[in-house]
Structure 1
């Protein structure tokens, strides 16, 4: 039903009420207001907009003088009085106030508090309640991951026990084989000696039966001597010494679940909006949003980039991908499969040949090891810090393209393809598969060729997909958040990384529109850090611990370091 507008209170005037006379408590339209202020009797009256009106004091009879209305407040007794009450002895000399003014102040205070409750306290508490609900879900996910990690650690330990058991059984088999070989040799010695004795026995029997006794005094007879029985060594049999281990030892091997040695922060309550701050915070904002706001107060995107230094990666033709390791060391790779590690001075430390090309196919783990995809053999290899290379994960029928080790929890994210399908798989740090992301909630394919991948500070998985010509971003649960398709007519994303502020930085590798795009964690375009006019062909990139941007180029083995935050 339609609502009737508020009409003017002047008799016979039916126009819209816009103003209010506080002394008269009368509603006024614009015309009646002008007349009201011209009248000698009311020209001094306070006329305000209707929203700013003072409430009219309700009629209430005096307890002592029932025919009179209360209209005065005794400040010292804090009781309402009528005009006749002020002459009573108990109120003599007391300070008095206009009851209507005081009533208006109280009503105004109530309105202010109601506004605060409705616009701030309720929304803020609802926001904190929602945050707790999100934390409950986060705890469930975290504990599920911990339980999966415990199981994975146990499986890993079981596999290790099986391998050690197999090695020890093999060792026992070899010991048995050696002992039996020695005993067989001793057996052969006595078999030969027995054969010799039987032959000698025949000789003595022959000589005993000879009739010509002179033969017994011949030189041949004198040579017949019984050789001593050969000596052999009694073998010492091996014994098994049982290992000594206890429940605590096994518990230590399987890790532990505990709280970090940090004091928990209080939940951050959004500040009330004031004219000085003009902070537009809503109840929907969470602790992470506030932390991001705090971070931006000390670090922000600069209006221009500044070249800091430049270095060469020896042993590669170009730099298609960069992985930062510990102690400032980094790994760089080209489109020919050359993977090189260098130190801070640019010296080559090691070089291996891989099947990688235009992909972000290597990453450094939390432990400092490098892991890289072998697309040809469909495995993920690990290079430990002693430079040994071992097979880490088998990917079955899927070809692994891109890989990223999470800085949040050590999980490993892998972009893969098979025939005309593509997906992102999450493994825990022990290599156990825990999640597959392939389609959105409408069962539409998310990826076509996920050849670079990274993770944002909020847990979002950011994938550079060449064939989709987009950066595809999903949350940690695998739900599609947004896709960024660049600023020009053609967008071919290559290297991708994120920074401390949650910015997503991606190389647009299209030759006619080569640029470096930066967007926020919600997909909003912020700026082009580098443009085609600067004449560069970008491929690989990463951000170091000092928030400097390392950019690898396509035609030359050069990495340029830029400062882009202030």
Structure 2
């Protein structure tokens, strides 16, 4: 579940928490931080940003002295002790460490390993899997050329070579089958490795958040290692050698299929690079603190939101949804079914009439085409860049209302409804259905009306569900992660998008309580980017490659672009 709004821990202070005092383990707002550092008692305390805080050691009583908390680690025995234990003869002369420091190191290690898996191992293995699919296409293309050559030879020899042609084609088919079988086996290798990485990722996540920190000092934890990415070989493509016409040697006349005398190369596995960091030393923070803290991207939330520009969309009276295309062009729609293609100067390039409403019913694919849902005919249509419209996917008995094209792999996510039911369906980029998400592990319905949908950088599917008054987030396997239900008394989620930091940004369309909420990928509320005083009813939102937000208004044809990262 999404956590409550994070506030300052100072008594009677209700302002936003931005900082953290490591010695006091206290949340602080900016004003209380300044006062904390001016106080004679706390001016030397280490105060850092909240995300750079050191984890507080969970309170646990000593087994031998139940009235005392453990706070020291005996390095020789690898056991936690209280202050009284260190005088026992069993630990005489042993090396001792601050238990909280060692606990923070273990948690930092978990975060580091999680980062490695997410940023290198998963992406690299998925890239190798994609390379195999490209090799499959290349093999098909090569074998097609070989078959055409065989047929051309056969045609010139007429009926004399018909019998031999059949044999040669069969030979080619068997070679192709063998090659594809090998590549399918390689693909399965990376699928199994990906499943292993996801399981290992869950283990590190569980260790990171575990309350029994003793487990972090167990042999099981110390033995956790990331297995190397499996190596596979690239296929060596066969070659066709044309024959010479000779009536007595018909078989030779049609040539032969051979593999070149080339040793297959191992697939290239990119080396793991160190993630770049850009951290500020705050207060008494040391270089060691920086090295042990989370890896931070170079971008972060800004303390203020800056208006960059504003443009209008011709042909719509309300901007309910925005899809960004290539070359600074975009698609925008209203609740009346008008779908308009325009540039940032407001020049209309194309306009069509659809059955869409105030929902996220269109998206731009990796190829630059636009696909949109037709709820009336229960189909998904494609608009190519030459402006032709074709039918792409039929959804059967289900009414498609929202859609998103994945930036990760090109998959298509569709929010659908029918009487009394709702679901999210995943199609691959060719339109083949590959996944349905409808219930959680307790067989409870996840969705009621998924009218906006997007995907996060970690593969999570994020959906605005108007009838649940919540953002519903599931992982790429369809397992429920959390609900986000806003910060005020009323929350009507509309447009939703994610950015390159994994933030989830959602429009709260509640009249009189309008806002643009931003949460992290674990459901933790971060900020209200826009509130009623600054904005009037945000409805559609999307993020561009420059980390700017394009926000459409409910009551006007205006789209405003904001800078919110620094």
Q: Report the TM-score, using the length of structure 2 for normalisation.
A: 0.57
Q: 1:265 and 2:308 equivalent?
A: no
The CA deviation at 1:345 is 2.0
Q: Secondary structure of the equivalent of 2:296?
A: helix
CA distance change for structure 1 residues 421 and 303 in 2, over 3 Å: closer, same or farther?
same
Partner of 2:338: 338
**CA, structure 1 residues 471+278, in 2 after alignment: closer, same or farther (shift >3 Å)?**
farther
Q: CA deviation at 1:121?
A: 8.0
Compared CA separation, residues 137 and 376, structure 1 to 2 (3 A): farther
* Counterpart residue number, 1:562: 562
Partner of 1:548: 548
Deviations 1:221-269 (A, max 9, x none): xxxxxxxxxxxxxxxxxxxxx9x998899999x9998899773315879
User: Which of 273, 280, 286 is 1:276 aligned to?
Assistant: 286
* 1:487 Cα offset (Å): 1.1
The residue aligned with 1:98 is none
Structure with greater Cα Rg:
1
What is the CA–CA distance in structure 2 between the aligned matches of 1:263 and 1:527, rounded to whole Å? Answer: 37
What does residue 440 of structure 2 align with?
A: 440
**Distance across 2 between alignment mates of 1:387 and 1:502:** 33
Give the direction of change, closer, same or farther, for the CA distance of 1:268–1:310 in structure 2 (3 Å limit).
Answer: closer
Q: Which residue of 2 aligns with 1:416?
A: 416
Measure, in 2, the Cα distance between the counterparts of 1:481 and 1:538: 26
Distance 1:515 1:2 in 2: 48
Question: What is the correspondence of 1:432-511 to structure 2 with a 5 Å cutoff?
Answer: 432-511=432-511
- In the TM superposition, 1:114-133 aligns within 5 A as 119=103
Judged with a 3 Å threshold, the aligned counterparts in structure 2 of structure 1 residues 320 and 354 are, in CA distance, closer, same or farther, namely same
**Is the CA contact (8 Å cut-off) linking 1:333 and 1:340 kept in structure 2?**
yes
Q: Which runs of 5+ in 2 are unaligned?
A: 1-60, 69-82, 145-164, 188-233, 235-265
> SS of the counterpart of 1:315?
coil
Q: Which residue of 2 aligns with 1:294?
A: 296
Alignment of 1:299-448 (within 5 A): 299-448=299-448
In the TM superposition, what whole-angstrom CA distance separates every residue of 1:19-77 from its partner, at most 9, and x where no partner exists?
xxxxxxxxxxxxxxxxxxxxxxxxxxxxxx86777x98x9xxxxxxxxxxxxxxxxxxx
Shift of 1:439: 0.4
Distance 1:152 1:530, change over 3 A: farther
How many Å separate the matches in 1 of 2:375 and 2:132? 27
CA contact (8 A) 1:378 1:397 kept: yes
Q: Give the corresponding residue for 2:528.
A: 528
- Aligned mates of 1:488, 1:300 — CA distance in 2: 25
Question: Structure 1 residues 111, 497: CA separation in 2 closer, same or farther (over 3 Å shift)?
Answer: same
CA distance in 2, matches of 1:152, 1:466: 43
Q: 1:482 to 1:277 in 2, by over 3 A?
A: farther
Counterparts of 1:166-315 in structure 2 under 5 Å?
Answer: 263-265=270-272, 276=286, 293-295=295-297, 298-315=298-315
1:391-419 deviation digits (Å, cap 9, x = unpaired): 11110100000000011111110000011
Deviation of 1:294 after TM superposition, in Å, equals: 2.5
Checking the alignment, whether the CA contact within 8 Å between 1:149 and 1:428 is kept in structure 2 is no
C-alpha displacement of 1:488:
1.2
Quote how far apart the aligned CAs of 1:386 are: 1.2
In structure 2, the CA distance between the partners of 1:312 and 1:129, relative to structure 1 (3 Å rule), is closer
Q: Are the aligned partners of 1:402 and 1:451 in contact in 2 as well (CA < 8 Å)?
A: yes
- In structure 1, how many angstroms separate the alpha carbons of the residues matched to 2:425 and 2:132? 15
Deviation at 1:128, TM superposition (A): 7.5
Classify 1:519/1:120 alpha carbon distance in 2 versus 1 (closer, same or farther; 3 Å): closer
Contact 2:120 2:272 in 1 (8 A): no
In the TM superposition, residue 375 of structure 1 has moved relative to its aligned partner by 0.6
Deviation, 1:134, is 8.8
Structure 2 partner of 1:94: none
Tell me how large the CA RMSD over aligned residues is: 4.8
Unaligned runs of 5+ in 1: 7-15, 17-48, 59-102, 162-241, 283-288
Task: Give the Cα separation in 1 of the matches to 2:374 and 2:493.
Answer: 22
Paired position in structure 2 for 1:200: none
Q: Secondary structure, in 3 states, of the residue corresponding to 2:489?
A: coil
Deviation at 1:127, TM superposition (A): 7.3
Contact 1:466 1:492 survives alignment (8 Å): yes
CA distance in 2, matches of 1:151, 1:469: 46
Asked if structure 2 preserves the Cα contact closer than 8 Å seen for 1:548 and 1:562, the reply is: yes
Change in CA separation of 1:440 and 1:388 when aligned onto 2, cut-off 3 Å: same
Residue deviations 1:69-116, cap 9 Å, x none?
xxxxxxxxxxxxxxxxxxxxxxxxxxxxxxxxxx99xx45x445x979
Contact 2:124 2:270 (C-alpha < 8 Å) held by counterparts: no
Kindly tell me: are residues 451 and 149 of structure 1, through their superposed partners in 2, closer, same or farther at Cα, counting changes over 3 Å? farther
1:93 aligned residue: none
**CA separation of 1:262 and 1:385: change in aligned 2, threshold 3 A:** farther
Query: Residues 320 and 149 from structure 1, CA distance in 2 versus in 1: closer, same or farther, beyond 3 angstroms?
Result: farther
The answer as to whether partners of 1:461 and 1:476 remain within 8 angstroms in 2 is: yes
Contact 1:470–1:483 (CA<8 Å) still a contact in 2? yes
CA pair 531-3 structure 1, distance change in 2 beyond 3 A: closer
